[in-house]
Amino acid sequence: MRTKVLVMGLALAFLAARPPVALAQTQAAPPGGSWEAVRAVAPGERLEVRLKSGKTVKGTLVSVSDAGLSLARGRDTRSVSRDEARRVYRVFAKSSATPALVGAGIGAAIGAGGTAVSAKSDDAEGVPAGAVLLPLVGAGIGALVGLAVAGGRQRRVLIYEAQ
């Protein structure tokens, strides 16, 4: 009976950890924003500009005018004219908390499963003292794996598309 409950609990934990597929298919902003949306971006914001030539320019916004914009990347500054730009995206860093918490939850569930298996196999002695720590160790390892998998995640929002 305990094994069935353990298997069902692990299956539910794995299903709960899966991200919804429908979220990946939604678009953050409607395409075809005006250049005014680019002008509204404050200097210092991170942008990504897809050029009509197919190249991509990434950097921090220095200035913007009706004629174009200037991006800084390190010590270099690159000016992009409005006629060159095909699409302009604002770039936001995503939080690392969610993948870390999901990883910790999965790790804790696996550790709890290990504790349950250990308790079942050692019926005469009960649960060994070290087995009680398995959920904590599993949560820590799971959180680290979650951070490693999600490291450097970014979200791009389309703010301008040339007509």
**Paired strand residues for 89:** 48, 158
How many other C-beta atoms can be found within 10 angstroms of the C-beta atom of residue 5?
10
Region of poorest pLDDT, from 9-13, 50-54, 63-67 = 9-13
Region of poorest pLDDT, from 67-81, 94-108, 121-135 = 121-135
Q: Cα 151 from chain centroid?
A: 7
pLDDT at 18: 61
Helix, coil or strand: residue 160: strand
Q: Which of 111, 107, 131 is nearest to 121 (CA)?
A: 131
Query: Domain map of the chain by residue range?
Result: 2-22+95-150, 33-93
Q: CATH number for the 33-93 domain, one of 2.30.30.100, 2.40.50.140, 2.30.30.140, 3.40.50.10300?
A: 2.30.30.100
Helix, coil or strand: residue 133: helix
pLDDT tens digits for range 120-145:
665 556 666 666 777 888 888 888 88
The verdict on pTM exceeding 0.85 is: no
- 10, two tokens: 């692990």
Dihedral (C-alpha) 38, 32, 153, 61: value to the nearest 10 degrees? -10
CA distance 76 to 154: 22
